[in-house]
Amino acid sequence: METLPIGKAFTLLEPGPVVLVTTNDGRKDNVMTISWTMVLDFAASFAITTGPWNHSYAALRESRECVIAIPTVDMLDTVVGVGTCSGRDTDKFGKFGLTRIKAAQVRAPLIGECLANIECRVADIVERHNIVVLEGLAAYLDSARKEKRTLHAIGDGTFVTDGRKFDRREMMRSKLPDGV
Ligand SMILES: Cc1cc2nc3c(=O)[nH]c(=O)nc-3n(C[C@H](O)[C@H](O)[C@H](O)COP(=O)(O)O)c2cc1C
């Protein structure tokens, strides 16, 4: 997995993929599935919607760290499996055969099977709306990976994946940050 400049990390989340979020509560690693994500600005600021109904939330609140890992379409059953059981009673890394890779700046692990990973610090928690604001610290991309299509949740238990890519980079030049 190669390093991706942190200024490009927003391009991983802007298309709205379903993500896996890893945490470490000081004793154990855990992972949950999140489809409600948002980019807040170009400088690697993101938000996810989650709350105390998930076991991961306590680790997010206490450690103030996590990793956003971006799975691909071939991982659909893992993504749904991870999101339908809990770290309260399940070792999800073992159950789903996920490979932990040590992160550089946070205790939560990267996921080796994923296309990309973003190490994050919890910058804020807006409890009234169950919004966790994250600051990206480091990003990685497995550009050698053959399957690069990510998953998008419809919200009713069905999913779609990426289709054709359109290039309007020249037309959008004035709106794109430097280096993107
Ligand atoms: C496709 C999918 C998307 C999900 N998106 C979210 C989400 O955006 N926010 C959330 O709080 N839970 C979401 N979940 C539910 C959590 O992943 C689920 O409650 C999980 O069991 C939490 O794990 P934990 O208890 O180990 O933290 C989603 C589940 C699936 C299958």
Q: How does pLDDT run across 139-176, given as a tens digit for each residue?
A: 999 999 999 999 999 999 999 999 999 999 999 999 99
- Which atom of ligand 1 lies at the shortest distance from residue 51's CA? 11
State whether residue 163 is helix, strand or coil: coil
Q: Which of 114, 127, 93 is nearest to 23 (CA)?
A: 93
pLDDT tens per residue, range 70-94: 999 999 999 999 999 999 999 999 9
Predicted confidence (pLDDT) per residue in 20-68, tens digit:
999 999 999 999 999 999 999 998 999 999 999 999 999 999 999 999 9
Q: Give mean pLDDT, residues 5-26.
A: 98
Question: Cα–Cα distances in Å, from 98 out to 35, 73, 83?
Answer: 19, 15, 14
Summarize the confidence of residues 118-143 as an average pLDDT. 98
Residue-level pLDDT at 133: 98
Mutate to test the pocket of ligand 1, among 21, 32, 91 (most ligand atoms within 8 A of CB): 32
Q: Are 153 and 14 in contact (CB under 8 A)?
A: no
Q: pTM, whole model, 2 decimals?
A: 0.98
Residue 154 phi, psi dihedral angles, 5° rounding? -80, -30
- Ligand 1 binding pocket (C-beta < 6 A) is 18, 30, 32-36, 49-50, 54-56, 80, 83-88, 153
Instruction: Please give the pLDDT value at position 171.
Output: 97
Looking at the CA of residue 92, tell me the nearest atom of ligand 1: 26
| Check whether domain 6-175 has CATH 2.30.110.10, yes or no | yes
